Amino acid sequence: MVRTVKTTGKKRQKKSSSKVAKVKSKNAFRNYQQAISYLLERTDYEKQTRLRYNVTTFNLDRMEKLLSLLGNPHQKVKTVHIGGTKGKGSTATMLARMLEANNYKVGLYTSPHVVHLHERIMVNSEMISESEMRGLLNRIYAPVEKMSKTDPPTFFEIMTALAFMYFVDKEVDIAIIETGLGGRLDSTNVIKPTIIGITSLSIDHQDQLGTTIDSIAEEKAGIFKRGVPAITVPQEPAAMQVLKMQAMSLEAPLSVTGSDIDFSHRFETSREHGPHTRICLTTPTSRFEHLRVPLHGKHQAINCGLALAMLDKLKSFGYTIDNEKAAEGLLKVSLAGRMEMIWHDPRILIDAAHNAASIKALIHAIGQNIPYDSMVVIFGCNNDKDVKGMLEMLQYGADKVIFTRSNSAKAMSPEDLAEMYSEICGKMCQTASSLGQALQLAKSAVSKEDLICITGSFYLIGQAKLRFQPN
């Protein structure tokens, strides 16, 4: 049965006094470094070079057991669940900012992070603190150790449990939860959300999720729940068919922006805002006209439309939303690693595009929004991606390519990337053994009017952002 939210006016609603069970662990960690080291020693599938995607590796029973030992915190907070291939983090962040602007206390759980692990767990735009993280790890230590004798929880399972615990502690009004890998077997798929959003689907994580768009859609649709309304964006026909069939089988109402929901977008340029995209979205209960999308690119306009549609759907569950406040919150959105200019002399832009569709969208967005004479792309990616597809897209925007590798264990070698690139498009390219060396090569090849773009991997752009951050 779908849960409802009782609200009075625009004041944030009070939560029940129930708290997550506090486990006595005799203060296992005396300081933050001890606590975080313990967490990072857990099995981390994000870093494994060979990963089997099955019910043994990704086991919801294990996740549910861990949460049970903690008092089932995921059942004590209202949630929104967002899955898809690309744009999950952007959509989740835009929705969070609009809810915050309407005086709701909002939890946000996303992955992966760009620079700091704590980016993954936020409440009203503030990252969890070191002392709060240490406190939660002390509380979760005993259950993790108990389970470790037979079936140890993974890094991502522990992080997800920590997020639920934190959101209960903070008495959030709603938590926006982004899936990690896939959906059906993802650790976040233990929740019964109020609504579900599915962003654009495309080929990614082929070794785990399959090599066809319908197989990927099947995994992503695994987060649908009986009777819970879901909203998605235009998809490839094969993917849309899978989503509709899964929704129908669960009697879950499915709406699509641009068809079931009146939605449009247009690109324009103004003296005040420069190049940008504006969108319109109309439903029986909302009318958003000519809103400026805070992030660059047509793909972000699609994401923004989904966030608005989800915001509107929350009205039917008792959430009081002022559309003007929502628009104000939207304009406050900024997101690390999404067409982010991290240096200006020379201009260096980073973007987390990590599949073929994302690279295509990035090339198009740069062309629309950033004037340049020549673009040098520093590229590195992991070996479980659609590498061929990414390289095919790369050739249409890069005047010069320098292949390097991130610090990920899954990172492909620059030499292998260069060989594939030459076979695909016959163009010359260079290799660098490190990001630092790649930047030296790029800087020697650009002038003031040129652009350096670093992309292909969250790991790589995280290294770049950290390199240029002020101390």
Contact 376, 445 (CB under 8 A): yes
Taking the model in full, what pTM does it have? 0.89
SS3 content of the chain, % helix, strand, coil (to 5): 40, 20, 45
CA distances from 427 to 374, 396, 399, 401, 423 (A): 16, 11, 10, 9, 8
DSSP assignment letter at 117: G
Contact 199, 88 (CB under 8 A): yes
Write down the pLDDT at residue 147.
Answer: 96
Dist. CA 329–CA 321, nearest whole Å? 12
CATH tag for 340-468 (out of 3.90.190.20, 3.40.50.300, 3.40.640.10, 3.40.50.2000): 3.90.190.20
Dist. CA 100–CA 82, nearest whole Å? 18
Write down the pLDDT at residue 47.
Answer: 60
Contact 201, 172 (CB under 8 A): no
Mean pLDDT by 10 residues, the chain (471 residues): 40 44 64 96 68 62 97 98 95 98 98 95 97 97 95 95 98 97 92 97 61 90 97 96 97 97 95 93 96 94 98 97 97 93 96 92 94 96 89 93 91 95 92 96 95 96 90 58
Domain ranges of the chain: 32-330, 340-468
Q: What digits encode the pLDDT tens for the residues 396-423? A: 999 999 999 988 888 999 999 999 999 9
What residue type is 158 in one-letter code?
A: I
User: Which residues contact residue 386 at a Cβ distance below 8 angstroms, ignoring those fewer than 6 apart?
Assistant: 203, 204, 206, 355, 356
DSSP assignment letter at 200: B
Contact 322, 283 (CB under 8 A): no
230-232 and 106-109 beta bridge pairing: unpaired
For residue 424, the cross-strand partners are: none
Name the class of domain 32-330. Answer: alpha beta
The two most distant CA atoms of the chain are separated, in Å, by 64
Write down the pLDDT at residue 57.
Answer: 62
Token pair of 366, please?
Answer: 């740069």
Write down the pLDDT at residue 24.
Answer: 46
Write down the pLDDT at residue 424.
Answer: 92
CB 284: neighbour CB atoms within 10 A? 8
SS3 at position 20? coil
